Structure 1
Amino acid sequence: MDKKMDTWGTDETGSFYLPQKLEYGTYYLREVKAPEGYLLNTEDIQFKVIAERDWENPLVVACEDVPAMGKIHLKKTDKESEEALAGAVFNVIAAENITTPDGTLQAAKAEVVTTLTTGSDGTATSTALHFGKYKLVETKAPNGYVTSEKNWDVTLSYADQETEIVTKDVSVTNTPNEVKIKKVAADSQEALAGVEFQVWKKGTSAKDNLFDLYYADKPLFL
């Protein structure tokens, strides 16, 4: 029958020594609490004591932990209609030096760590990212929209030792391009009110007009 011997914790070197020598036999090491930022190793590690060892040359049993990670889930919509927008491109940029808890640098501040492009449903999800602070910068707006000058700050943080991926949702809107037409008299340059315009998309005909009639003193949203 298996018998629990005791519970020990690692020191700043990531190791610990058993306080007494073990008799010959087969043993198991089980992790019950992972370090901050890491996932719990749920596999029991088997080791065997088959030879005499001294304290200067102990039997070493290794246990590896995998860091938990995060993902950014982006949703892009029309600011007015809330319609999903495809084709928007964003850079995900490290807003600080991104390091794992052991101090390993994963991404330097200002480094572009990945790029997101929204699909037909207006969403995009990043690859797994190490925890830290990031910012989203739009580099290309969907056709017919204005590229935003705003940056979106995103912080990915550790949840617990069982949560493999922490997902952060970010909602972004785009404003349609606005075109304002001003109608003036050719001779006096005086503004003329009440003039009507018809607008249609290039490659189509006026009879297939996609837009309504607009007055010259009102902006056109294309």
Structure 2
Amino acid sequence: MMSGLVFVLILVIALLGLYILSDYTGYLEDYGASSGASSYPNGDEWEGDSWDDWDGGWNWDDWDGGGGDDDEEEIVAGGGGAYPDEGVKSAVYVELVDAETDRPIQEENIRFELYRTDITHLQEGSLQILNTYYPEKVSYRLYATREDGTFYLPEKIWQGNYYFHELNAPEGYDLAADTYFDVNELFDWPEPYVVQIRLSPAKNIIRIQMNDADTQLPVGGGTFWVIAAENIITMDGTVRYTTGQVVDTIYCDEEGYGESDELYLGAYTVQQVGAPEYYASMTETFTAEVEQRTGALPEVHEVEAEKTQIVLHVADELYADQNIGGARFTVTNQRTGLTQQLTTDSAGNAVLTNLEKGVTYTIQQSQTVGDYRPDSDTYEMVVTADGRVNGESSAQLEITNRVLRVVIHPVDAVLRTNTLDQQFALYDSQDNMLESWTSDGQDLVLTDLPEGDYYILHNGDAEQRYTFRVTDTASVQTWTISLFTLRSVVALVLAALLTVGVIGLMVFLIRLAARKHEEARRKKQEEPPKEKQEKETPPAPKH
């Protein structure tokens, strides 16, 4: 009887041992999801002492136990981990990898939920709550990566269909799609079932809108390089772009809009390398920051396109503030030979636009106004491949016109003032009378005389002939005619009379002063000496 009881007791102990070997997860410490650690199996179950013995670099000595979220309360039902006997249970190991490079992403505290889909009527599957039992029961609903971007599920799971749902992503990566996997055979802790969470690097685009700088209307046809402003490195350690690398080219459409391909997150420099027809390329670059998508489109970078133009400005050569309107110019395209005419406005300006790149234009004045002389020079303006003239999108060409200004200034020979009522006639060197006039106290200004020799007759008297020469200069040429007139005679007489009067007055004053001096001298001689008078005066009587 006793031997039978002992046999039964041994059988019970053996069955209990088999249960522990097949189901129990080992000595697992309580784990907090925020710690970034996960759970590990009992060391007694390993057949090697490091990860290298079973496909990895994890060292058993580093194991600190735990997994999931220790803030979760123990949940007995409603989430998994407590199904009836469903066959084998397997250990699961999860690692984060870059979807493009297959390199590991070593980021801590990336959190996941585990769902099962094959035994539930719920469309999204049932959330799995896993447990550890030593030294006390702890339930987990969240599972977080350690510093190396991996974790173990804290408990083996039954065979079935599952998926991981990511709750937060590493910096520079998008959230992974739900990662589905099927467990249909036994995987133990030394060689667990490996689930790779494949994360795609986050990307976004750069958007550009080109508008005319003056009209703000869209301008199509611009081309831009996108250049990495820094080394663009993702968290798997891959250098996606190096500083200064041209990573994309943006082509603007007819409406002036353009966008880049999807680019890795980071800072980029945008440089214009092709300008629309008749426009100059930008010399400045701008920086664009590619940021993670938020649901809205990234900002549009507004680019103002400056039209290539040459501004002609015509002014008086001597007086720069006197603009000349109505001056005409002929502009010739040296490539095609085609010409066009330009006329300055009241401000003296004429604007030449629609200029072809890589073409030389010649500009020559064909007509001016009034007595001005047109500029005889021919100007060559080269539009470079970047749509600039002399390095500018808007080049200024300053042109002056000359007029020969002659001022005839008849003055009184004595008074040096302008004369009145004097007759004059102007003749050229061929004795042709060009102008006759009577002086009115103002100078006569002439602007229509060509270079040459001239003379002026006063009152038609050939004896009073004054000769001058007109030269080609922008300065005012003043001819002064000094005349002896009746006013001069009167002025001289008055001056003489005034002089005589002044002299007579001076003589009178001198003689008057001399007379007074003589009288004073005589008076002084007639007076007795003072001391002598005092001696001869008797003393006053004493009372």
TM range (shorter): 0.7 to 0.9
Change (3 A) 1:49 1:33: farther
Equivalent position of 1:92 in the other structure: 226
Deviation per CA, 1:101-140, whole angstroms, max 9, x where unpaired? Answer: 3221111101111111211101111111111001111112
Per-residue deviation at 1:21? 2.4
1:19 aligns with 2:154: yes
Any gaps of 5 or more consecutive residues in structure 1? none
Distance 1:83 1:132 in 2: 31
Contact 1:183 1:195 in 2 (8 A): no
Distance 1:176 1:72 in 2: 24
Contact 2:206 2:298 in 1 (8 A): yes
Change (3 A) 1:167 1:180: same
Percent identity of paired positions between Structure 1 and Structure 2: 25
Equivalent position of 2:267 in the other structure: 133
Distance 1:96 1:89 in 2: 22
Per-residue deviation at 1:181? 2.5
Match for residue 196 of structure 1 among 327, 335, 350 = 327
Contact 1:74 1:125 in 2 (8 A): yes
Per-residue deviation at 1:31? 2.1
2:283 is paired with a residue whose SS is coil
Higher helix share: 2
**5 Å matches for 1:23-42?**
23-42=158-177
Deviation per CA, 1:164-207, whole angstroms, max 9, x where unpaired? Answer: x963411000222231325589xx9998823433788968988x
**TM-score normalised to structure 1 length:** 0.80
Distance 2:314 2:163 in 1: 85
Per-residue deviation at 1:159? 4.2
Change (3 A) 1:62 1:52: closer
1:111 aligns with 2:254: no
Give the aligned length: 213
Amino acid corresponding to residue 324 of structure 2 in structure 1: A
> Alpha carbon RMSD of aligned pairs, Å?
3.2
**5 Å matches for 1:52-71?**
52-53=187-188, 55-71=189-205
1:220 aligns with 2:351: yes
Contact 1:76 1:173 in 2 (8 A): yes
Amino acid corresponding to residue 344 of structure 2 in structure 1: Y
Contact 1:98 1:108 in 2 (8 A): yes
Contact 1:30 1:42 in 2 (8 A): yes
Distance 2:330 2:220 in 1: 24
Match for residue 156 of structure 1 among 290, 294, 298 = 290
Contact 2:231 2:243 in 1 (8 A): yes
**TM-score normalised to structure 2 length:** 0.35
Distance 1:181 1:27 in 2: 77
Amino acid corresponding to residue 263 of structure 2 in structure 1: L
Amino acid corresponding to residue 50 of structure 1 in structure 2: E
Per-residue deviation at 1:52? 4.5
Contact 1:156 1:168 in 2 (8 A): no
Contact 1:158 1:166 in 2 (8 A): no
Any gaps of 5 or more consecutive residues in structure 2? 1-119, 121-125, 130-140, 354-543
Equivalent position of 1:120 in the other structure: 254
1:142 is paired with a residue whose SS is coil
Deviation per CA, 1:78-122, whole angstroms, max 9, x where unpaired? Answer: 101012111211111111111223221111101111111211101
Contact 2:313 2:350 in 1 (8 A): no
